[in-house]
Chains A and B, each alone.
Chain A
Amino acid sequence: MRADKEAIERGSDAQVVDNDKVRKTWPLHKRLAWHFRQYWQLWLMALPALGFTLLFAYVPMYGIQLAFRDFVPAKGLTGGRWVGMQYFRQFFQSPLFASTMINTFKISLGTLVLGFVTPIILALLINQIGSQRIKGFAQTITYMPHFISTVVIVAMLNIFLTPNTGLIGRFLGKDNVLDSPGAVAPIYWISEVWQHCGWNAIIYLAALSSVDLSLYEAAKMDGAGRLQLIRYVDLPTIMPTCVVLLIMNMGSVLSVGFEKVWLMQNAMNLPGSEVISTYTFKIGIQSFQFSYGTAIGLFNTVINFVFLVAANWISKRVTDTSIF
């Protein structure tokens, strides 16, 4: 019965407002009781997700204080003596600090720029295909690599770049390019683009499919050629999407995918392939320096976060687009 009454009440806007106003005057406990009586099912539905998030995302955040403490196994996440910034200083003064930072920035910035630009270009190109069937075919092909695992991607890199016999390696001389520290970043960028460009173009293709067709007609009346249509109709259409994605990508400016770098790493290319995440793994998990490892990880997270907030702030000012 109450459901009926609610439905009728919701039918008229004026009454809903009135009811809300009435409820605002209630004391807190009465309001809460009403809220839970009304929405306990929604709370129950959100509860598993909430529980998993609190346990597996927020408890580790609470554990970040480990970065400022000496780890004592018996005391778990929060025990141990407070040592302040000691582990951060240790990282900044470590001989590996500079090269690890440079490698991380180099690999991730290149990925960021190429990974941002290439899907836009690909989407603009695919959008030019008139036949729906050819268009669908092109999309099917370009999405495919996205579903291949990192292990397989790196295995393919190894196969293709093998000197003398590999598909690409046979043109690159006697030494394996994968062993050269300077080649790690470019190989990483190119393979990332190869794998994810098509997939990341979907979002732009979706935006392009919503272009108001009369815009093209109008532009043509004004004498626009093919390139002008792309430049003055297509590009402005996807601009807001571009900006949002760019901001979101900025939040990962220092997070290089651990798996791929780890799998590409070998003794020879280490000077060019040691990044923050692999270093954290070695320090923390492989040599059990938990506090030090936490500190390095936290440093990484904070930088990412600062970049994200800064990009968001700038974008809000300049383009009026933001993600929060």
Chain B
Amino acid sequence: MTSSNVAQPAPKADPGAIPWNKHTRQQQKPGDLAVDIVIALLLVVILLAVIYPLWFIVVASLSNQGAVSSGRVTLWPVGFTLAGYQRVFQDARIWTGYGNTVLYAVLGTALNLVVTMPAAFALSRLEFKPRRVLLFLFTFTMYFAGGLIPNYLLYKQLGLLNSMWVFILPGALSVWNLIIARSFFETSIPEDLHDAARIDGLSYFGYFMKIVIPLSSAIIAVIGLYYFVGHWNDYFTGLIYIRQEAKEPLQNVLQSILLANQTNQMGTGNGGQNVLQQQQLADQIKYGVIIVSTLPLLIIYPFLQKYFNKGVMIGAVKG
């Protein structure tokens, strides 16, 4: 904060941000109203463009597919039905995929945090001189990598092919999250606490466990979520390293269900009643399976959303 700013109390609302603020409206230049209206319109259009496709999938999953494909479904379900969801929940593959993904994501995220947080703490200690070299060693891997084939051969040698550990071990550390956590420790934990802890005879371990971790719930939540979402949405690993259906995660199961229903759809040009019904059911399953696989993330998301700005901003400070 500059001294000029201290001299007078800061206005409550951001004066650069005006459209719906009566107090600042009087100070407007002529023409600002037009600009405001254009900005408001643009924002409305953008928000609709983002939300409507998602809303449509939800509505379509609950509608009669005949109404969906003839374009009669727009804002609310038409011919309400849960047939798609029934079929999805009867499908054993979905449950296997769900179980696998929950297992991989929970174990994976736990390991991620156990690996990332202590390392980030070590790298945040200014008196720890090797931190610069170590940090370079980590960040270099963000920009240079062995590539797909050397990875594949290594995993093969380590026995990770067709193993659940391929989802958990290779991605144990995301350097980006490491940097975010380190920046958080550097900027948000007062150094006085460390001095006090030293005087109380706490070692680095003690300081980290008893003082730093309890103060870091926000960053742990954000980074935990990043990792969890990464595991949940991972399709690549299953595609390349898993050849057994029983070990496939949700995204790969999802894709094979979608693909199966896609081919159904192609053979419906001649349109017999039975074929038409089958296609409608296939579409219904498609919508249902999309919702079912995405729902868990969209449910936890609002609870963690308040931390996002903080998490991303911290990462940006020194990223």
Binding site for B on A (CB under 8 A): 3-4, 6-7, 10-11, 35, 39, 41-43, 45-46, 48-50, 52-53, 55-64, 66, 76-77, 122, 125-131, 134-135, 138-145, 147-152, 155-156, 158-160, 162, 164-165, 167, 170, 194, 198, 202-203, 205-207, 211-214, 216-217, 220, 223-227, 229-230, 233-234, 241, 244, 248, 251, 258-259, 262-263, 277, 280-281, 284-285, 290, 293-294, 297-298, 300-301, 304-305, 308, 323-324
Contact = CB atoms under 8 A, between A and B. Distances in A.
A39 to B, nearest CB: 6
A57 B141 contact: yes
Interface stretch (B13-21, B81-89, B102-110): B13-21
A66 B232 contact: no
Contacts of B14: 130, 211, 213, 216
Interface in B95-127: 114-116, 118-119, 121-123, 125
B236 A258 contact: yes
B62 interface: no
Contacts of B139: 324
A302 to B, nearest CB: 9
A277 B108 CA distance: 25
Given A50-B134, A128-B39, A226-B35, A57 B146 contact: yes
A45 B154 contact: no
A53 B173 contact: yes
A7 B195 contact: yes
23 contacts: A3-B199, A41-B204, A45-B122, A48-B114, A52-B172, A60-B146, A60-B154, A130-B13, A130-B21, A144-B54, A149-B293, A152-B254, A152-B293, A194-B49, A216-B15, A225-B31, A226-B29, A234-B16, A241-B316, A259-B236, A277-B148, A285-B152, A300-B147
Given A64-B146, A284-B152, A155 B16 contact: no
Contacts of A129: 17, 19-20, 43
B15 A284 contact: no
A60 B240 contact: no
Contacts of A214: 2, 4-5, 8
Contacts of B57: 156, 159
Contacts of B275: none
Contact of B46 (A125, A216, A293): A125
B203 interface: yes
B312 A206 contact: yes
A60 B17 contact: no
A73 B66 CA distance: 55
Contact of B150 (A45, A46, A61, A170): A61
A63 B154 CA distance: 8
A138 B48 CA distance: 10
Interface string B9-36: 0110111111111001001110110011
Interface of B: 1-2, 4-5, 8, 10-11, 13-21, 24, 27-29, 31-32, 35-36, 39, 42-43, 46-47, 49-51, 53-54, 56-57, 60, 68-71, 114-116, 118-119, 121-123, 125, 128-129, 134, 137-139, 141-154, 157, 169-173, 175, 178, 195, 198-199, 201-205, 208, 229, 232-233, 235-236, 239-240, 251, 254-255, 258, 262, 265, 286-287, 290, 293-294, 297-298, 301-302, 305, 308-309, 312-313, 316, 319
Given A49-B173, A64-B146, A155 B290 contact: yes
4 closest Cβ pairs, A-B complex: A60-B146, A297-B147, A63-B150, A49-B119
A280 B50 contact: no
Contact of B290 (A58, A60, A156, A229): A156
Contacts of B199: 3-4, 7
B15 A60 contact: no
Contacts of B47: 138, 141-142
Given A130-B21, A206-B313, A220-B27, A150 B146 contact: no
B64 to A, nearest CB: 13
Contacts of A224: 29
A155 B240 contact: no
Contacts of B204: 39, 41-42, 45
A118 B149 CA distance: 35
A128 B294 contact: no
B149 A45 contact: no
Contact of B50 (A39, A126, A194): A194
Chain A CB count within 10 A is highest, among B19, B69, B119, for: B119
A298 B150 CA distance: 10
A41 B154 contact: no
Contacts of B302: 140
B205 to A, nearest CB: 5
A45 B173 CA distance: 13
Given A60-B147, A258-B236, 17 more contacts: A45-B204, A46-B118, A46-B123, A52-B172, A63-B154, A66-B150, A142-B50, A148-B294, A148-B297, A151-B251, A151-B293, A212-B5, A226-B35, A259-B236, A285-B149, A304-B143, A308-B143
Chain B CB count within 10 A is highest, among A42, A148, A203, for: A42
Contacts of A205: 309
A216 B16 contact: yes
